Amino acid sequence: MTTPSSLRTPVHGTWEPRPAARWEDGFLSGNGHHGALVFAGPDSERVIVTHHTLVRDNGSDTRPPALAAELPALQDRLLAGDPTAAERFTDGRPLQWVRPFHPAFRIRLRRPSGEESGYRRSVDFATGVVRAECADWTSEVFVSRADDVIVQRVTAPGPALDVSLDPRLSGAPAGLGLGHGAVLTGEGALLSLRARYPEGDRAFTGVTLIAVSGGTTALAPPGARIEAARSVLLLTRVRRHTGELDVALEGRALRELAGAEYDELLDRHAALHRTAYERVVLDLAAAPAERALPGSELLKRPGDPALLERLFAAGRYHLLSSGGLFPPRLTGLWTGEWNTAWSGAFTNDANLNLQTASAAAAALPEVTAAHAALVQRQLPDWRDNARVIFGARGVVAPAHTDGESGHSYHFDRAYPLHLWTAGADWLLKPIVDHDETHGSRDPRTAAALAEVALFYEDFLTRTDDDGQVVVVPSYSPENRPANASAGTINAAMDLSAARHALRTAADHHPEHADRWRALADRIPPHRINEDGALAEWAWPGLQDSYAHRHLSHLYGVWPLDEITPYDTPELAAAAHRALELRGAENDSAHGHLHHALVAARLRDGERVAHALGQVLDGDFFHASLMSAHYPNRHVYNADAAHTLPGVLIEMLVQSTPRRLVLLPALPAALPAGRITGVRTRCGAEVELAWARGRARAVLKPTRTVRVEVRTPSGDARSIALVAGEDHVLGMEAW
């Protein structure tokens, strides 16, 4: 097919003609450890510094509740028909949030008020450089992946530039113990800021080396003043610690880096960042004039393909930039205030997996590696959850974590999150997808899967009248039946998770395969309710509650392949009916985009478009192209920004180890486009272009395999893919 000439030139960045008045509109850079949130004006530039490790002790009791001895009695009461029995299955403590994520400080650069002509700020997604400029000066900021340092260069800073580290950010606790340091060095100056939390002995310290080219440097406590310089280079790091930090040692490390030129520092970083960012490119044949618009203007055009192009690019950029030490938090890697909503936690029961939905297919193994590292670090705490709450071997994941403790301690009567047993399978699924994409099996993943299977062996001991095992207690995040409490029996997500975990563990451990598969076969099937919908609870008598933001019961559709239009059409139809009946509740971004992901798996392109439209029309995005949790840019939150690329890929390419589905849910509003670099679980990289009802795919397999290929018309064909040999598919009108 002929590719439209407007393709191949999407914009890989965004820009604004005005300063950011709010930190939420500041452009972002990050390396998965440090983050920089840049918002600037002509005479005052501010860089808010964050680090993934910065969480404040809030006095929570982080032990899992010791309830194992009471579990058999609870199971008896639930099975006997007591719909509120689980409300008393707690240790009496009140709801405790996990330790909140917070920013470190802001680097403030002040220059005399001057001419504002030519002001422009931008971020280059391919390099991670945030740039602000006026007619007579330029500032550039990036966070180095190579050197783990925030780098800022100011060129032609003017007659005077004042630099300070400012801890006065919204919500900072009154009892925060602060200490400033400033010393002159041969390069310029070394500034430090130490902050000790009001609770405990933890602290964090930020160190900024100022290297000056030309001009003079003098101390202006708590900062420094630079006069008549040609350029100024700032290198900043943050360390969280107990006790004292050797600032001089940190300064020496930064001085070694300052021996390199800015361009050398950037080249080292860009070699890593650009390689990852450019692996996948989406082009929706947007008009050049729209592609040239600033982001804030594009956001006013929710139906414009140029907006989807830019949000796809921005989403991959922000996801890559926030994944390293940890995967993204609710706010990614960034926040401008201490009172971060929901503690800025990793919310495991929906948000984390939604944000990383594109990681395998969009070729960001860096993000999956961060996700896997978080899981591995927390496995000892997951074992405690299984033993202390359920009296079982194996592992149970918490619904929330601050990144340190993996214990389940965030729960209450209305949200009995300590009863959620599907979490380990849910959190391991993206790692399994990664292994399938790369054609390898990580022994650490296999070991974790075995522990999930061991938990189910010990937990699934109760049976119904038909001899099937019963998941009791059971919990569907964060919903409850219309006629019972939240802690109940046979939630659909729990059924899917247990089946998937046992069968996947069996695939990885042949020595236990017969036993684990036999247990999986005794898990009851999903139930179709009187509305023809897949029921959220498969236990007779439990009534669905449709008006809810979560779609946990459709776990079997996305991200699992348990329910598909091809293999289980009756269940797929019931799942589609459940999707039709589902309300949006409070219009959370993650609810709309989770809806879109499920709709894409069910080949409903117009429902995907509608769910996307709810977000694009709802004013969810800041000028930074980072998103909010609610409409009208209420509550800074990365769910929409990070999940959107996953939605767009799912409507274009889906895969399993033995199946490849092309253009399964393409909305009519996107008649032409091209995507390159998509990775699949059958081991083939995909380049796909479509226009005027025709499509062409180039499959680039990395291993030899026979796959079933599904085309837009729904036709299926079996194709033998040979490693290293491109396979070209042409698809006619659909």
pLDDT digits (tens, 9 = 90+) for 127-144: 999 999 988 889 999 999
Contact 307, 287 (CB under 8 A): no
567-575's contacts with Cβ under 8 Å and 24+ in sequence apart are 570/528, 571/526, 571/528, 571/534, 572/602, 573/532, 574/526, 574/528, 574/532, 574/533, 574/534, 575/533, 575/534, 575/602
Contact 53, 240 (CB under 8 A): yes
Sign of the alpha-carbon dihedral angle for 431, 436, 439, 443 = positive
Q: Which DSSP state fits 632?
A: T
CATH 3.40.30.10 fits 31-54+102-277, yes or no: no
Report the DSSP beta bridge partners of residue 731: 695
* Helix (H/G/I), strand (E/B), else coil: 614: helix
Closest among 615, 655, 617, 663 to 637, alpha carbons compared: 615
For the stretch 352-385, pLDDT in tens is: 999 999 999 999 999 999 999 999 999 999 999 9
- The reported pLDDT for the residue numbered 9 is 58
C-alpha 368/C-alpha 327 separation (Å) is 8
CA distances from 654 to 196, 273, 440, 552 (A): 49, 26, 19, 20
- Ordered by start, the domain boundaries in the chain are 31-54+102-277, 68-97+346-530
Tokens of 513: 């395969």
For the stretch 176-226, pLDDT in tens is: 999 999 999 998 999 999 999 998 889 999 999 999 999 999 999 999 999
For the stretch 618-668, pLDDT in tens is: 999 999 999 999 999 999 999 999 999 999 999 999 999 999 999 999 999
Contact 66, 388 (CB under 8 A): yes
C-alpha 108/C-alpha 191 separation (Å) is 12
- The reported pLDDT for the residue numbered 734 is 52
Contact 322, 86 (CB under 8 A): no
Residue 411 has pLDDT above 90, yes or no: yes
CATH 1.50.10.10 fits 68-97+346-530, yes or no: yes
Mean pLDDT of the 567-595 span: 96
Would you tell me how many other CB atoms lie within 10 Å of the CB of residue 668? 8
Residue 304 has pLDDT above 90, yes or no: yes
Question: Which region holds residue 121: left if phi is over 0, alpha if psi is between -120 and 50, else beta?
Answer: beta
For the chain, what percent of residues have pLDDT higher than 70? 98
Residue 238 has pLDDT above 70, yes or no: yes
Residue type, 550: H
pTM for this model (two decimals): 0.96
